Structure 1
Amino acid sequence: MTTALIMGASGDIGMSICEELASAGWSLYLHYYQQAEKVINFASDLQERYPQQDFFVVSLNMLAENDLAAFFKNLFQVDGIVFAAGFTYYQLLPEMQGQQIDNLWQIHVKTPLLILQALQEKLARSKRGRVIFIGSVYGHRGSSMETVYSAVKGAQEGFVKAYAKEVATLGITVNVVAPGAVKTAMNQNWQMEELATLTEEIPLGRLAEPKEIANACSYLFMKEASYITGIILPIAGGWME
């Protein structure tokens, strides 16, 4: 049985990825930091629906590097990892504090790299290891008011292109799924006028559903996707492309 670690399983996209992979037969480690009850209940629901699979709940503050050693002790077989955790700050660059910049770098780049360092051997043992970063179209197009977020998402893309080459002979594929505007809780604070303007800019005329991001991840986890590695896959409805 294959097992995947979903970093950020409490978010809308993370939960949708868990749903898709569970329905495809994967056992899962569901990572969270602040929403314990939500993730525990979600894992129980998945366990009830898929009794032949295992669903473990694991906690980690991705900004606390010293907590990683204890986190790794809770992980045994790992055949795939999805990095779906993260956040952004909507500010002009002169308004950004140094700690905010550090936080974005830590959660989007440094901690994922440290996790891969520790778990690469497990992924290689699988013979069909899968790694996916949930990036952003801002990683290759950029966005004002989110310059640092754009920078760390661009760093994810650069790392994936290099790391995919490094681990190809180990049977590990490494890719970025780069969403555009997605209908998630993070976008619920937008004004109706702002959403209407954004929707007009998207050729398909709507925001993506979290499940559409999850479907791309589910495909890249399939055996049939074993020849796809080192790519940036935009899921953006033609927006910013």
Structure 2
Amino acid sequence: MKKVLVTGATGAIGIKISHMLASQGFQLFLHYHSNEAAAIKLQNELIKKYNSSVSILSADLSQSEGPQHLLSNIQEPIDIFVYNCGASHYGLLTDFTEQSIRETVQLHLLSAISLSKSLIPSMIQKKSGKIIMISSVWGEVGAACETVYSAAKGGLNAFVKALSKELAPSQIQVNGISPGVISTPMLNQFSEEEKRELAEDIPAGRFGEPDEVAHAVEFLISAKSDYISGHILSINGSWYT
């Protein structure tokens, strides 16, 4: 049974990814930060619905010690790694504290690098593995008032492309997914009028759904994508193309 690590599993996208993976019979290691109740609820749902093997693991990946704390609770080699963290701070760069800058970069870039570094040796040994990084449209085009987040996600995209070249000889695929506006609680910071105007600005005329991100993960972890690596798959309704 292949083993999968998913970070940010209790978020809207993480939940859909976790259900998709459980339905396919993977052994799951699901990370969460502080919402233990949501993690336990998800674990129970997956066990009841799919008879899955599910472990839940807490770690603060916005801190430098977070990756090692997470890995200390995993004793088995991971076959598939899905890095999915969605926290974002909205505001002018001049309003950011040095601490919030460091935490944003740690969460969206440095922890992804640290975890990958620790997980890939066993993949290389087996000459098999899949790494999926959930990025953002802002990592491709940048966004005012989300400068640090955009920079970190842009770095994550470059990391995907670079790491894919290192791992291709070992038959390990590394890809990214770049969602546009997805219907998650992250949109709660906007008013209904702002959300309506935003949807009208998207050529597809609507926001994406968490399920649609999970479908992309499903493809990229499958054998159907074995010759695809170093790619950033945009899911944005032709918003930025």
TM bracket, shorter-chain basis: over 0.9
In structure 2, runs of 5+ residues without a counterpart are: none
Deviations 1:151-202 (A, max 9, x none): 1110001111000000111221111100000000111231111011101111
Who is 2:174 aligned against? 174
How do residues 97-176 of structure 1 correspond to structure 2 at under 5 angstroms?
97-176=97-176
Amino acid at match of 1:114: S
How do residues 89-104 of structure 1 correspond to structure 2 at under 5 angstroms?
89-104=89-104
Q: 2:37 & 2:160 partners in 1: Cα distance?
A: 33
1:67 CA displacement: 4.6
Asked if 1:56 corresponds to 2:55, the answer is yes
Amino acid at match of 2:137: V
Amino acid at match of 1:163: L
How do residues 225-236 of structure 1 correspond to structure 2 at under 5 angstroms?
225-236=225-236
Q: How many residues align?
A: 240
**Identity, % of aligned positions:** 35
Deviations 1:188-236 (A, max 9, x none): 2311110111011111110000000010001101011111100010000
Who is 1:193 aligned against? 193
Structure 2 residue matching 1:195: 3-state secondary structure? helix
Amino acid at match of 2:70: F
TM-score (norm 2): 0.95
1:126 CA displacement: 4.5
Who is 2:218 aligned against? 218
Greater shift in the superposed pair: 41-50 or 206-215: 41-50
Greater shift in the superposed pair: 89-98 or 146-155: 89-98
Kept in 2, the 8 Å contact 1:12–1:210? The answer is yes
Kept in 2, the 8 Å contact 1:128–1:223? The answer is no
Deviations 1:90-148 (A, max 9, x none): 11111111111101110111111111111111233443311111101111111111111
In structure 1, runs of 5+ residues without a counterpart are: none
Q: 1:96 & 1:127 partners in 2: Cα distance?
A: 43
Who is 1:69 aligned against? 68
**Shift in CA distance, 205/217, structure 1 to aligned 2, threshold 3 Å:** same
Amino acid at match of 2:61: M
1:85 CA displacement: 1.4
Q: 1:183 & 1:175 partners in 2: Cα distance?
A: 23
TM-score (norm 1): 0.95
1:42 CA displacement: 0.8
Asked if 1:183 corresponds to 2:170, the answer is no
Kept in 1, the 8 Å contact 2:77–2:119? The answer is no
Structure 1 residue matching 2:189: 3-state secondary structure? coil
